[in-house]
Amino acid sequence: MSSSQRQRRRVRRLALPAAMLLLVGGAVTIQSTAPAAAAETTLRAAAAKAGLFFGTASSPNRLYPILAQEFGQLTPENDMKPDRIATSSGGLQNTSGADQLVNHAQSNNMVVRGHTLVWHSQAGALQGASQSTLNTFIGNAINRWGSKIAYWDVVNESLEDNNTGRRRNQWPHTMNRDANGDGDYFDAGDTDVIRDSFIRAKQVVQAGGYSTKLCINDYDVEGLTVKGGGPNRKANALYDIVRTYRQYIDCVGFQSHFNDNPNSIISDDLQANIQRFADLGVEVHLSEVDIDDDLSNNDIGAGQAENYRKVVRACLNVAKCTGITVWGISDSESWRSSERGLLFTGGNGNYQKKSAYYAVLDELNKGRGTTTPPPTTTPPPTTPPPTTPPPTTPPPTTPPPTTPPPTTPPPTTPPPATGCTATVSLNSWTGGFVATVRVTAGSSPISGWNVQLTLPSGAAVTSVWNANRTGTSGSVQFSNVNYNGSVNAGQYTEFGFQGTGAASGLTPVCTAS
Ligand code: 9MR
């Protein structure tokens, strides 16, 4: 018996008693309350009910009915890549496949993710192009489809393999220059193709009045840790990029190609990693999911269906995880067909649902937040948490009490320190800056915070994330938003703002509630 036959039998076994129960319930009580909302029967509908999209990658020759039935979002698997549509001067050519996909999505009310503008691979005629030519291409591509594209992957796969945490040492990143040699490309005098491509993309979106959101997309960035528990430096590097360029970046794609590569694991801290990006204020998508059906070497080596459940649940538990895209419909048509990593078998539109499909549908139908979300704050990657030195002397042993304990606390016990402190780090350039403010709770938990700081004359706030704001220049107040007011003792959360002018010597004053 095939797995899908087994699955159908299982569904029939479950369906019969449920129907009997309904009949019995109807017989014994006329005033029965309405039955619980029926579970949705497609991935698309179940995801929509939970407030996210569930999509897939496709091509013009695979626009079968099942596509729009099961999926609410579409990514052109290959038809929008520069090697298909870019000329060497940054113009457009051969857009018919991409147009067909966009039109199909439009007529079926599907969200489109454009994939992709700046990428070292499949660059075609753009290979080796200057930033100025890339900018021309970015403008032409964004303008061609405007708001029909809800999300654009502006920069794809900019970070090196093997968990080094470095940018790729190949075009277009070879255009980068670290002017002051401090090891990053974030300084005013540096050249950074990521920053410059996003700045251009943002300008085009704003000038056109489009609703398009701009994403950075990469793989092996899913967990906080890699196999063995070490830090995921690639994820940390991506985090630093998003934090630094937050004003231009709206969304982050974790590709989520899970396989036996030690950096491609499904780790228990996937949700925490999604959450820390979400805490920067960006949307997070699992943008190219496939899960090897034999993860025997993986940290979570459960069956494929269970692994899919974990991945979908991690997204559902983070409100700003707003979409999941599987990288194709059927195993046989996948770029990694030998790993059988998708939700269907079969081909040419005649597809059969796998156990993994039913697991995903079931998890989506449970909706968001059915498990306790982790704390909304996780430490940023570049600052390792302080390590507690091991005690040098054994702790004193408490002798058994010989007298009854006092009924009032001794007067010398100091009251617990409460409140919060705030520190600012600045990333400045000529005429502007981004400030990241860290709010740290004292030795008691806090449930809300307020940070006041005074900007130097000539400086003004233009945008803020992860906080509410009162004032623009001079004395400015920031307070928590609904998801980051609660901070545990000794923990911190961060918010940020962008401004014009120069900001230096800021001394934030934190008060807690
Ligand atoms: O699935 C795509 C496959 O058909 C192409 O041959 C391949 C060429 O590089 O690209 C595949 O899609 C990739 C995506 O664009 C970026 N992330 C990794 C995907 C799988 O390789």
500: which residues sit within 8 A by CB, 6+ positions away? Answer: 431, 432, 459, 460, 462
Q: Which helix (H) or strand (E) holds 307?
A: helix 304-316
Ligand 1 pocket residue status of 255, Cβ below 6 Å: yes
Provide the pLDDT for residue 431.
72
Q: Of 16-30, 48-62, 122-136, 498-512, which range is least confident?
A: 16-30
Helix axes 233-244 and 270-278, enclosed angle (nearest 10): 10
Residue 156 lies in a domain: yes
Rounded distance, CA 346 to CA 335, Å? 15
Share of the chain above pLDDT 90, in %: 69
Q: Which of 344, 366, 388 is the last residue of a domain?
A: 366
Terminal-residue alpha carbon distance, the chain: 62
Q: Are residues 340 and 472 in the same domain?
A: no
Tell whether the model's pLDDT for residue 393 goes beyond 80: no
Does 157 reside within a domain?
A: yes
Split into its structural domains, the chain has a count of 2
Asked whether residue 84 is assigned to any structural domain, the reply reads: yes
Domain end call among 300, 334, 366: 366
CB atoms within 10 A of CB 23: 8
Distance in angstroms (rounded) separating the CA atoms of residues 419 and 414: 15
In a domain, 26, yes or no: no
Confidence (pTM): 0.70
Query: Percent of the chain, pLDDT > 70?
Result: 80
State the residue range of the domain holding 222: 43-366
Going by pLDDT thresholds of 50, 70 and 90, the confidence category of residue 501 is: confident
The residue annotated as part of the active site, out of 70, 288, 333, 363, is 288
Catalytic residue check, 288: yes
Lowest mean pLDDT among 21-25, 68-72, 318-322, 508-512: 21-25
Q: Can you tell me the distance from the alpha carbon of 342 to that of 213, in angstroms, rounded to the nearest whole number?
A: 27
Shared domain check, 447 and 317: no
d(CA 503, CA 367): 44
Q: Which two tokens stand for residue 349?
A: 């539109």
Which CATH number does the domain housing residue 448 bear? 2.60.40.290
SS3 content of the chain, % helix, strand, coil (to 5): 30, 25, 45
Active site residue 363: no
Catalytic site residue from 77, 157, 160, 283: 157
Residue 300's pLDDT band, with cuts at 50, 70 and 90, is low
User: Phi/psi at 139 (nearest 5 deg)?
Assistant: -65, -45
Which pLDDT score, from 0 to 100, does residue 492 have? Answer: 78
> Do 442 and 318 have their domain in common?
no
Is the predicted pLDDT of residue 432 greater than 90, yes or no?
Answer: no
* Best residue among 327, 331, 334, 342 to mutate for probing ligand 1, ranked by most atoms within 8 Å of CB: 327
**Can you tell me the distance from the alpha carbon of 412 to that of 355, in angstroms, rounded to the nearest whole number?**
64
d(CA 238, CA 118): 16
Virtual torsion, Cα 192, 194, 197, 202, nearest 10 deg:
-120
Quote the CA–CA distance of 491 and 60 in Å, as a whole number.
50
The tokens of 333 are what? 């048509």
* Class of residue 190 by CB neighbours under 10 A (exposed 0-12, middle 13-18, buried 19+): middle
